[in-house]
Amino acid sequence: MRVVLGVSGGIAAYKAASLCRLFTEAGHEVRVLPTQAALRFVGAPTWEALSGHPVAHDVFSDVPSVQHVRVGQEADLVVVAPATADLMARVAAGMADDLLTTTLLTATCPVVLAPAMHTEMWLNPATRANVATLRERGVHVIEPASGRLTGTDTGPGRLPDPEVIHAEALARVGERAHGEPTAAGPWAGRRVVISSGGTREPLDPVRFLGNRSSGRMGTAVARAARDLGAEVTLLQAAVEVPAPEGVRVVEAVSAAELEAAVAREFSDAGADLLVMAAAVADYRPAQVSDSKIKKSGDSEGLVLELERTPDILAGAVARRDAEHPAGDERAPRPVIVGFAAETGDDAGSVLDHAQAKLERKGVDLLVANEVGVEKTFGQDDTTVHLLTPDGGATTVGPTNKDEAARAVCAAVTPLFG
């Protein structure tokens, strides 16, 4: 795939070097187009060494080949990281005063901009209007991360990690292919199992115990994994959204059905990755009535005896560890990702409970979020915290669940053996 990597003049330009390497190591041909200001942060020799191609920034370079038009016409993907407020303003206005902006005007392939700037600049009405204009025209503008900026400033405006930008960009190519997996994607050849939705534990033929999960997050992860080229099996409990095209669906509504499906589709089948995004009930009725339970005329209520459901995630980890001990290099070790839908309480915060669950479950990555009425469950937006056993913690959001899912996949990629 022919990738054009645009770099505009911000301090985050140095991070684009890692992004360039991600593309080249995946076998893509990368042409770097820095602006003149970007070259004051990272020089042309760096970009030429990483990409293997000469670097130019103005329209008067290599005039006979008409490269100010040709580069955009031949590109399969254009990514700009960082995209400064100035660069986005010029692109929104249709300006073409250097090689990068002329390329953006001629490109008909997917275009991805990764903004980076101070918080006040990102939130300025002029920038917001430019972002809205670009998105209306089909340009994919990634939401910036929140965190430490230049100096002592902290807030939204930080350039997302190169792995996140890389995954987002490849996802755009996958969407352009009408749902077909990207053959050159970094997950090509990998088998991925993802659970989604909320389990329902039957009480009688009519009633059940359930939860508020809509399945949006698990479905988004399935879509992101598919766009990265993986062969995806989606284990669906009760969901409110359709499964993505190109994904194999297995219905598993109760905790018992889901446990059997995980064992069969992940452990027995030798899959490379398990993502347990489903909200599995902790308890189920100890007795299930064969007929509808009737109201009793002299009874003031109904007493239910509940029993614990199986710990599906812990069981999958235990079997994985037994079959693929840590340090055994004879076969790649499957990756397991857990989700923690938490609420804070007197015993600790959401992150406190999530950290404890990470240590208890033994997963490779834990995705934690705060849930509740009108918070995460059934909503389009979310904030997730990505926790790793080495103490790493990355917050993504607030953002939509598709972008959060791509961030999860980006965090998983380095974990594959």
pLDDT score, position 297:
65
pLDDT tens column, 18-28: 999 999 988 89
- All domains of the chain in start order, with CATH: 2-178 (3.40.50.1950), 191-285+307-415 (3.40.50.10300)
Label residue 63 by pLDDT band (50, 70, 90).
Answer: low
* Cβ contact 246:179 at 8 Å: yes
What is the average pLDDT value for the chain, to the nearest integer? 86
Q: Which residues are catalytic?
A: 211
**Residue 88 confidence (pLDDT) above 50:** yes
Label residue 39 by pLDDT band (50, 70, 90).
Answer: very high
**Shortest CA distance to 387 belongs to which of 351, 343, 417?**
351
pLDDT score, position 181:
43
Phi and psi, residue 399, nearest 5°: -160, 175
Q: What string of DSSP letters covers 186-231?
A: TTTT-EEEEEESB--EESSSS-EE-----SHHHHHHHHHHHHTT-E
pLDDT score, position 13:
94
List Cβ neighbours of 51 (8 Å cut-off, separation of 6 or more). Answer: 5, 20, 24, 30, 31, 32
pLDDT score, position 353:
84
Phi and psi, residue 130, nearest 5°: -65, -40
- Which H or E element spans position 134? helix 125-136
pLDDT tens column, 213-257: 888 899 999 988 988 889 999 999 999 887 877 789 999 999 999
Label residue 150 by pLDDT band (50, 70, 90).
Answer: confident
**Residue 256, burial from CB neighbour count under 10 angstroms (0-12, 13-18, 19+):** middle
Q: What number is the average pLDDT over the span 317-327?
A: 89
